[in-house]
């Protein structure tokens, strides 16, 4: 009894003397991890996206089928309710005899929820398609195929400016050459204008590599982040995946709201030819979700930055070798916390949330 009273007294004394930040860390909520589904009518899944559709409610979509690029690959979706349960996957889009790819969910300023995706036998032969919902995913429009050369967001969420302008990262994968483009919409995602290409200057005269589509040289799959507060002349930045010859995350900047862009340049952050995502938090810090390795797709890490240039890892989301934990999608929820989905071993999609208090300052 005396020991119990002593411990209680010590706890009270600590609560009075320890800094509030220490107490916050001690009481911080642990990360949550869930498989979005356990059983599905497909053995393989990849390239997920996530969007919040109500306080504590989320939608995630991905492509699933026999394997990436197989003719039976379709777009699937699941909803997470406020009680934390995910619904069974439902099929959202299928192109007869041709695989689908890389869904992206996002809201326009009007509240319309867009689902953009691609279809075609190979990324070099993609055509884009889309559906929309005006009731946060309860009902959807019919699938609409887009004109050749217009893709909408290619893999990661776009940036929606305060005035409703949508700035979307896009890219083209051609024979031995990858390059980034930006598509911009001033009518809430109905039509797009295209700017680019955005490349590393050192690649302009690079020799062709071996006849292997995985040995193409260049940059793809950008995500767009505001560097200031969306005021006139807003500064935007693209963070881009690179091919194995570059091996670093690359960035490019716009100071006119995405109308024109600088050349790309490398950050001192590795990229093993794998997708990335990044958010700018409400407190103006940046959080990056990426594979912190020069090769392979494990581990999957979270890193924080105050300036968008220099990143410090603060959490390992997944770390199993051999393994693949890739193509992450990352948002900050209305609760302030990080919410993400990612490919788990090509077998399923995993959801995770990390509390805002877990991000070091």
pLDDT per residue as tens digits for the range 310-340: 999 999 999 999 999 999 999 999 999 999 9
Rounded average pLDDT over 42-55? 97
Give the number of domains in the chain. 2
Confidence of residue 231 (pLDDT cuts 50, 70, 90): low
Q: Are residues 21 and 153 in the same domain?
A: no
Confidence of residue 5 (pLDDT cuts 50, 70, 90): very low
Q: Are residues 131 and 18 in the same domain?
A: no
> For the chain, how many residues are written?
361
The pLDDT of residue 175 is 87
Name the DSSP letter for residue 264.
P
Q: Are residues 295 and 248 in the same domain?
A: yes
Confidence of residue 176 (pLDDT cuts 50, 70, 90): confident
DSSP secondary structure string, 156-219? Answer: S--EE-TTS-EEEEEEEEETTEEEEEEEEESSTTSS-EEEEEE--GGGTTPPP--S-GGG-EEE
Rounded average pLDDT over 245-257? 96
Kind of pairing between the strands at 166-174 and 44-54 = unpaired
Residue of 250, 346, 332 whose CA lies nearest to 298: 346
Does position 72 have pLDDT exceeding 90, yes or no? Answer: yes
Does position 18 have pLDDT exceeding 60, yes or no? Answer: no
Average pLDDT in the chain: 90
Q: How far apart are CA 171 and CA 276, in angstroms?
A: 14
Q: Are residues 22 and 43 in the same domain?
A: no
Q: For the segment 259-288, what is each residue's pLDDT rounded down to a tens digit?
A: 999 999 999 999 999 999 999 999 999 999
The pLDDT of residue 236 is 97
Does position 184 have pLDDT exceeding 80, yes or no? Answer: yes
Q: Are residues 22 and 41 in the same domain?
A: no
Are 101 and 126 within 8 A, CB to CB?
yes
Domain residues for the domain of 217 are 31-358
Q: Are residues 14 and 76 in the same domain?
A: no
Q: How far is CA 144 from CA 48, 118, 270, 278, in A?
A: 20, 11, 37, 29
Does position 23 have pLDDT exceeding 70, yes or no? Answer: no
Does position 241 have pLDDT exceeding 90, yes or no? Answer: yes
- Spatial CB neighbours of 80, under 8 Å, sequence gap ≥ 6: 36, 57, 58, 59, 60, 86, 87, 351
Number of CB atoms found within 10 A of residue 312's CB: 11
Which percentage of the chain shows pLDDT scores above 70?
Answer: 89
| CA–centroid distance for 334 within its chain | 17
Q: Are residues 65 and 19 in the same domain?
A: no
Q: How far apart are CA 292 and CA 335, in angstroms?
A: 27
- Coil vs helix vs strand at 96: coil
The pLDDT of residue 19 is 40
Q: How far apart are CA 27 and CA 43, in angstroms?
A: 39
Higher-pLDDT residue of 301, 176? 301
- Spatial CB neighbours of 351, under 8 Å, sequence gap ≥ 6: 32, 33, 34, 35, 36, 50, 58, 60, 80, 86, 339, 340, 341
Q: Are residues 75 and 125 in the same domain?
A: yes
Q: Are residues 21 and 144 in the same domain?
A: no
Q: How far apart are CA 168 and CA 198, in angstroms?
A: 13
Kind of pairing between the strands at 277-280 and 286-290 = antiparallel
Does position 119 have pLDDT exceeding 90, yes or no? Answer: yes
The pLDDT of residue 28 is 47
Bridge partners (DSSP) of residue 279 are 287
Confidence of residue 208 (pLDDT cuts 50, 70, 90): low
Kind of pairing between the strands at 166-174 and 113-119 = unpaired
Q: Are residues 7 and 64 in the same domain?
A: no
Phi, psi dihedral angles at 172 (to 5 degrees)? -125, 130
Using CA of residue 74, residue 75, residue 81, residue 84, what is the dihedral sign? positive
Bridge partners (DSSP) of residue 118 are 101, 128
Q: Are residues 7 and 92 in the same domain?
A: no
CATH number, domain containing residue 134: 2.120.10.10
Q: Are residues 42 and 23 in the same domain?
A: no
């Amino acid at each position: 009894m005396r020991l119990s009273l002593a411990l209680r007294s010590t706890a009270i004394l600590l609560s009075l003397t320890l800094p509030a930040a220490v107490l916050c860390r001690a009481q911080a909520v642990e990360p949550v991890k869930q498989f979005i589904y356990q059983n599905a009518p497909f053995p393989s899944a990849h390239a997920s996206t996530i969007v919040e559709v109500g306080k504590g409610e989320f939608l995630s979509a991905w492509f699933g089928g026999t394997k990436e690029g197989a003719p039976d690959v379709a777009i699937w979706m699941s909803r997470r309710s406020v009680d934390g349960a995910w619904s069974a996957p439902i099929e959202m889009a299928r192109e007869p005899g041709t695989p689908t790819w890389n869904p992206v969910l996002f809201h326009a300023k009007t509240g319309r929820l867009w689902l953009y995706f691609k279809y075609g036998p190979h990324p070099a032969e993609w055509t884009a398609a889309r559906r929309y919902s005006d009731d946060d995913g309860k009902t959807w429009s019919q699938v609409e195929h887009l004109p050749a050369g217009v893709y909408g967001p290619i893999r990661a969420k776009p940036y929606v400016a305060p005035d409703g302008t949508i700035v979307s990262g896009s890219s083209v994968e051609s024979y031995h050459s990858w390059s980034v483009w930006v598509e911009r919409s001033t009518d809430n995602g109905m039509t797009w204008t295209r700017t680019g290409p955005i490349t590393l200057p050192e690649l302009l005269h690079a020799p062709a590599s071996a006849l292997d589509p995985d040995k193409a040289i260049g940059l793809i799959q950008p995500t767009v982040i505001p560097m200031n507060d969306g005021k006139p002349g807003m500064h935007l930045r693209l963070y881009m995946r690179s091919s194995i010859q570059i091996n670093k995350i690359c960035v490019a900047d716009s100071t006119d709201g995405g109308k024109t862009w600088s050349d790309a340049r490398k950050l001192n952050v590795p990229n093993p030819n794998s997708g990335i995502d990044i958010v700018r938090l409400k407190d103006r810090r940046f959080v990056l979700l990426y594979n912190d390795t020069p090769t392979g797709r494990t581990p999957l890490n979270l890193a924080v930055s105050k300036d968008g240039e220099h990143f410090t890892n603060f959490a390992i989301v997944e770390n199993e070798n051999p393994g693949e934990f890739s193509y992450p999608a990352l948002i900050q929820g209305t609760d302030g916390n990080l919410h993400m989905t990612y490919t788990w071993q090509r077998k399923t999609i995993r959801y995770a949330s990390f509390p805002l208090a877990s991000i070091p300052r």
